[in-house]
Amino acid sequence: MDFFYTYIVLAEIYVLLGLSTNLLVGIVGIFSVSQAAVFGVGAYLTAFLVMQTSTPFLVAVLLSSILCIGLNILVTLPSLRVSGDYFVVTSFGIQLLATAVFTNWTGGTGGANGLPGVPAPWIAGHEFVEPSEFAVLATGGMALGCIAFWLIMRAPFGALLRAIREDELAVAALGKSVLRAKVSAAALAGAFAGSAGGLYASFLSFIDPSSFDLDASIFLLTMVVVGGARTLAGSVIGPFVLLALPQILALIDIPSSVAAAARQLIYGLLLIAFMLFRPQGLLGEKL
Amino acid sequence: MLWLHLLVNGLVWGCALGMVAVSFSLVFATTKIFHVAHAAVYGLGGYLAWSALKHGMPEWAALLVGIVACAITGTLIQKLLYERLDRRGATHLVILIASLGLSAVMQNAVAAVYTSNVLQFGLPWAARTTAIGGVLLTTAQMLTVVAGILSYLGAMWFAHRTVLGKRMRAVASNPFLAEITRLQPRQVHIAVMAIASAMVAIPGVLVPLDLGLQPFGGVPILLTATIAMIAGGVGSISGAFLVAVGIAVLQNLSLLVIPGEWSIGITFGIFVIFMLFRPRGLFAG
């Protein structure tokens, strides 16, 4: 059963990341391949706070989210000045920069060897060690994220974000502040990614740069694309489908040396196939 | 004399980077597609040449195999993927995601076939060094410089002196007008993809002669090249090539003060700051 709960918890954490990516890429139309970097910063900061300063878990996650809000605004800021393709390069660059920091700053992140021994969350005298217990926590986090996402999409603010994607100039001409809307969306996406990072670090108790690299960012994008961009349902179903995929692959007899490459290859194929034949994903809207 | 050595290294590396930047610039300016999979085409060229060599082909034939195979790959990518998406009215974002997916597919296919360990060509003549003005250069490095300069001149000649090149520039500057004056943009796109893919195969084979092959080595190189293209002004072949050389020299000289593992991070850090303050490129008004 632990196996099943682990899958549930990870999928729920990735739902938060999916919401983060969906908000930027799907809703506002800012192409970002650096969400894994923000996710990583959330994970490392939570790990640091809990391990070195013995901050309570919830406070640590909150602080990580706040830092990631700031960070994501900073990371998305260039998209206000540069259009589409130039921002792609910036986004790739931010991701590579983050990977360089995670890998080379051995003092803070443990470098390529990773950071072991992140303690399990401790809330109100209860320790969430078992995956089944942690699932409660992750479900709570996911539910909060989904409710926030749903409320925002129904609100006028959600309509404003979608309008910016369709025609930025028209929105500006109506006297709405594009800048403020984009910054708010980036902040929200940062909060999702940061809290997901905190949950991830304390659930696995071990983090290393490979969870937060360019491949991870592409995986996040695949999740959103497969599940379906622009909708809540899409962001929820994407992670559950894609995280089941490695389990199915494990049933097929592939040598372990090519397993990682095969997995990434399949994600790539999914991206191409969905773009060609079903750009709206399973439960989304047309990109 | 370390700085002189780094400077020369930077110039050599800049010629390789320049070829990537110029070829990417041709594609981007003409098709408007941010062709991320160009990084994978770069990688593919080297691996196929390596295989050809291991099957007993002479060196020049192996290089040719890499170039031709990449040209064919580029043609297929344009015809089977980009053009198809374009006909279906795919948005920019959709094409970009598909390109990213293709890049992941090609690189991981290479990693699955050749493993993700570094492969060496192991050619003794390529590693033989010659002293030029007190700096030791390998034969592979000298070849890179020659190929880089020739590719740059070739691209300039192609863009300004040939009919296809003029059609290419016409399509780049006004696709709609090119369509109604029967310049057949779709054919031009295919030709440009073939030429650019052939061109990127040259550094794809020559750089690994020195440094060895890695399945995912193309991504940081392509990104550095796109920085050069953007900073040099999109559509300008000279701009892309010269800024690429400049970036490579700066990257190498920065090794004097900053440890090597940070250099790629610093390049992109500078670029992000650059994009914040001067988003239209160095030479734009």
Between A78, A100, A225, which is nearest B275 by CB? Answer: A78
Average pLDDT, chain A: 90
Residue B282 domain-assigned (yes or no): no
Residue B182 domain-assigned (yes or no): yes
- The model's pLDDT over B78-124, given as tens digits with 9 standing for 90+, comes to 999 999 999 998 888 899 999 999 999 999 999 999 988 899 998 88
Burial class (CB in 10 A: 0-12, 13-18, 19+), B164: middle
Exposure string of B76-112, with b = 16+ CB inside 10 Å and e = fewer, is ebbeebbbebbeeebeebbbbbbbbbbbbbbbbbbbb
Residue B284 domain-assigned (yes or no): no
Q: Domain range holding B241?
A: 2-277
Task: Please state the rounded mean pLDDT for residues A263-284.
Answer: 91
pLDDT at A9 over 90: yes
Can you tell me the distance from the alpha carbon of B198 to that of B192, in angstroms, rounded to the nearest whole number?
A: 10
- The model's pLDDT over A66-92, given as tens digits with 9 standing for 90+, comes to 999 999 998 888 777 766 777 888 888
Single-letter amino acid code for the residue at A280: Q
| Min distance A140 CA to chain B CA atoms (Å) | 32
Residue partners of A82: CB distance under 8 A and separation at least 6: A90, B275, B279
Token digits of residue B199: 């061109």
Q: For an interface test with B, give the residue of A86, A210, A213, A269 to mutate (most B CBs within 10 A).
A: A86
| Min distance A58 CA to chain B CA atoms (Å) | 32
Question: What is the number of other CB atoms lying within 10 angstroms of the CB of residue A117?
Answer: 9
The residues spanned by each domain of chain A are 2-213
CA B26 to chain centroid: 10
B-chain CB neighbours of A26 within 8 Å are none
pLDDT at A261: 87
B-chain CB neighbours of A89 within 8 Å are 223, 226-227, 230, 271, 275
CA distances from residue A136 to A62, A140, A216, A275, B212 in whole angstroms, order as listed: 18, 6, 25, 35, 49
pLDDT at B168 over 60: yes
Domain count within chain B: 1
pLDDT at A177 over 50: yes
Question: What is the number of other CB atoms lying within 10 angstroms of the CB of residue A247?
Answer: 10
- The model's pLDDT over A201-248, given as tens digits with 9 standing for 90+, comes to 999 999 999 999 988 999 999 999 999 999 999 999 999 999 988 777
pLDDT at A258: 81
Q: Which residue has the tokens 């990682």?
A: A260
Residue B285 domain-assigned (yes or no): no
Tell me if residue B204 falls in helix, strand or coil.
helix
pLDDT at B271: 77
| Min distance A150 CA to chain B CA atoms (Å) | 24
CA angle A68, A187, A92 (to 5 degrees): 65
Residue B132 domain-assigned (yes or no): yes
Question: What is the number of other CB atoms lying within 10 angstroms of the CB of residue A105?
Answer: 14
Residue B281: band (very low, low, confident or very high) from pLDDT cuts 50, 70, 90:
low
Residue B283 domain-assigned (yes or no): no
Can you tell me the distance from the alpha carbon of B117 to that of B12, in angstroms, rounded to the nearest whole number?
A: 25
Q: Considering only A135-149, B44-58, B182-196, B260-274, which range has the smallest mean pLDDT?
A: B260-274
pLDDT at B280: 65
Instruction: Count H helices and E strands in chain A, helices first.
Output: 13, 4
Q: Tell me, what's the ipTM?
A: 0.89
A276 to B81: CB separation less than 8 angstroms, yes or no = yes
CATH number of the domain enclosing B267: 1.10.3470
- Chain A residues 70-89 with CB within 8 Å of chain B: 77-78, 81-82, 84-89
- The model's pLDDT over A101-150, given as tens digits with 9 standing for 90+, comes to 999 898 888 888 899 989 888 887 788 888 888 999 999 999 999 999 99
Q: Which residue has the tokens 């003005």?
A: B133
Question: What is the number of other CB atoms lying within 10 angstroms of the CB of residue A246?
Answer: 14
pLDDT at A143: 96
Interface membership of B264 toward A (CB under 8 Å)? yes
Nearest-Cα residue of chain A relative to residue B273: A78
B104 to A276: CB separation less than 8 angstroms, yes or no = no
| Main-chain phi, psi angles of A127, to 5 degrees | -100, 130
A100 to B97: CB separation less than 8 angstroms, yes or no = no
pLDDT at B285: 38
Percent of chain A residues topping a pLDDT of 90: 59
pLDDT at A241: 92
Residue B71: band (very low, low, confident or very high) from pLDDT cuts 50, 70, 90:
very high
- Greater confidence (B258 vs A173) lies with A173
A-chain CB neighbours of B264 within 8 Å are 96, 100
Can you tell me the distance from the alpha carbon of A63 to that of A47, in angstroms, rounded to the nearest whole number?
A: 11
Tell me if residue A125 falls in helix, strand or coil.
coil
